[in-house]
Amino acid sequence: MDPSSAPVCPACGFRIFNRRYPKCESCGAALPQTLAYTAAERRALMAAEDERERAEARARDARPEANSAGDGAILAAVLTMTSPGN
């Protein structure tokens, strides 16, 4: 993304970095719908962010050091029981 292509407020020329706000953060002028995200777009963005946060939380939980020693012992026992050659 080229930052120089960021939209600007038609009232004051303030560069719009956060299009989730329906108003200019500098002068408070209402932004045209072509600049500000629509409610549906904002909802979609929030849903995507929620999903990303959940994925990150899952990644954290999946880290071996994050698991308790008890879980590790159970996993080791299961692996032992299911390993071939017994």
Q: Does 9 bind Zn ion (CB under 5 A)?
A: yes
CA 34, CA 21: separation in Å to the nearest integer? 12
Which residues lie across from 8 on neighbouring strands?
15
Among 64, 49, 77, 26, CA closest to 9: 26
In terms of CB distance, is 15 or 54 closer to Zn ion? 15
CB of 46 to Zn ion, least distance (A): 24
**Pattern 10-39, Zn ion, x by CB under 5 A:** -xx-x---------x-xx-x----------
Which CB atom, from 29 or from 57, has the smaller least distance to Zn ion?
29
Count of positions on this chain that bind Zn ion (CB under 5 A): 8
CA distance 6 to 2: 7
Question: What is the widest separation between alpha-carbon atoms in the chain?
Answer: 77
Question: Using an 8 Å Cβ cutoff, are 11 and 31 in contact?
Answer: no
Q: What is the footprint of Zn ion within residues 44-63 (CB under 5 A)?
A: none
Binding interface with Zn ion (CB under 5 A): 9, 11-12, 14, 24, 26-27, 29
